[in-house]
Structure 1
Amino acid sequence: MGLIRDRPSLYGAICWSPELGRSITETGDYLERMIANRIVAVRLFPKKLNFSLKKWQVGDLLSVMESRGLPLLLWHTETNWDTIQSICEEYPGLTVIVEGNDQKLLYHNRAFVPLLERHANLYIETHSLIQHEGLEYIVNERGADRLLFGTYYPSNDPNSSMMMVTDAFIPEETKLAIAGGHLRRLIANIH
């Protein structure tokens, strides 16, 4: 965190495990320190770290994040769409960002498109929306307001992810919003 503290163009995310906060007060204090050090999101890896996304294990964390405007980052391969739906419903003020990591999101259109329609707090990161005109479909059918540009760099070359946005048949202002405007808006809401 010391590397980004004095660099206004850099932000960080932390990975959380349940051991980091044994009480809501401890969790709140920890996240307050992280926010002060330019941390703008919390990643959870429940499969890899073997914990539940249910309220009994991460409810305090999600409540504090919701109250502070701190987004949650999840790989869709670390959970399931029913759990994502439950989190979005139970914590309507919590921004939930689903990333595709190394499995394409196009295999999950039937799940995430209806969830985007139901939950204003659900966002999709774009690097694995590689279906032909998939970005255009979401923009035209659901809107672009909850699409966030991402690359999965260094595992993927960022140029292919960028091309999906720059060459999409969508308005220029929509491309700019996806490329960074939406993320800047989310960061500005953290307190």
Structure 2
Amino acid sequence: MTSGPGVELIDANAMLGRLPTTDVGGGSTADLTKTMDRMGIRQAVVTHTAAWRHDPPTGNRLLLREAADQPRLLPCWVVLPDTCGETGPPERFLAEAERGGVVAVRAYPADHGYHLGGRSAARLLDALAEARLPLFVDAEQLTWTEVEQIATVHADLPIVVCRTGYRALRELAGVLARTGNVHVDLSGLSSHLGVDWLAERFGAERLIFGTGLPVRDPADAVTGLLWSELDDVQAAAVGGGNLRRLLRCQEAA
């Protein structure tokens, strides 16, 4: 068992805002940081629920406004392909993201009605890869074939697949074996000894600590890491070091 107090936790997968059909708290920065304090989480990469469930440009602006005085909360914007013009061309979107201190982006292709690996999103992915801005996407939003296709075509693009579920190990393992830029977060990764097996087979550097707050109970990811058989160096990497490395990628662009 790892020594929990020595592991810095940075959550790669958290949200602000209310959800229309799920009662998971008030959705405020105070609610989120209170939970982070209770679970020993130092910082969190956050997206706004309004950018997912309502309108990405509006939700992205709301995120910056609500997180402006919260240095522990690192903004993550929701992206769209520029087929309908909501977010403008990728170059302008990325310039605005940089000015806003955005550290990563999320995509919801199934919910927002496009194929992330299709031609409509190609310019966007090219721009994200050039900037090395990490892309987060939930496993249910696309197929593993699409994940691998995108990762292969855009080898400089860090991709983090979230909410994989406990039945995804065979598909996930194949993609991890054939790519070098795909990572997986711990939210929903509840297979027995799954964290240990993935770290042993593919390296702890492919694992990212993420809780899925507030939809998922953060204790799931915290317990999965701190009660794993990873050594302290590996646990520290998964807990926060790997995410810091991915977020620094954009600084080198």
Distance 1:21 1:43, change over 3 A: farther
Aligned to 1:2: 65
Alignment partner of 1:143 out of 175, 179, 203: 203
Match of 1:175 in 2: 235
Counterpart contact for 1:21–1:30, Cα < 8 Å:
no
CA drift of 1:20 comes to: 7.5
Q: Look up the equivalent residue of 1:162 and give its one-letter code.
A: V
* Native 8 Å contact 1:95 1:121 kept in 2: yes
State whether residues 82 and 121 of structure 2, in contact with CA within 8 Å, keep that contact through their aligned partners in structure 1: no
Percent identity reads 24
Moved more, 44-53 or 8-17: 8-17
Alignment counterpart, residue 73 of structure 1, candidates 119, 124, 136: 136
Contact map agreement 1:4 1:38 (CA 8 A) in 2: no
Normalising by structure 2, report the TM-score.
0.69
Instruction: Point out where structure 2 has 5 or more consecutive residues left out of the alignment.
Output: 1-63
What is the RMSD of the two structures over their aligned residues, measured on CA atoms? 1.8
Matching of residues 1-191 of structure 1 within 5 Å: 1-5=64-68, 7-19=70-82, 26-100=89-163, 104=165, 106-191=166-251
Query: Deviation above 6 Å: which 4+ runs of structure 1?
Result: none
**1:9 Cα deviation after fit:** 3.1
| One-letter amino acid of the counterpart of residue 148, structure 1 | I
User: Retained in 2: the 8 A contact 1:5–1:38?
Assistant: no
Bigger RCO of structures 1 and 2 (CA < 8 A, at least 6 apart): 2
Deviation at 1:107, TM superposition (A): 1.0
The offset of 1:10, in angstroms, is: 2.3
How many equivalent residue pairs? 186
Report the 3-state secondary structure (helix = DSSP H, G, I; strand = E; otherwise coil) of the residue aligned with 1:153.
coil
Give the Cα–Cα distance (whole angstroms) in 1 for the partners of residues 84 and 125 of structure 2: 12
Query: How far did residue 117 of structure 1 move?
Result: 1.4
TM-score normalised by L of structure 1: 0.90
Residues 127-169 of structure 1: CA distance to partner in whole angstroms, max 9, x if unpaired? Answer: 2111111100011111111110011111122122101101101
Given that 1:20 and 1:27 are in contact with CA atoms closer than 8 Å, whether structure 2 keeps it comes out as: no
Q: Distance in 2 between matches of 1:170 and 1:54?
A: 34
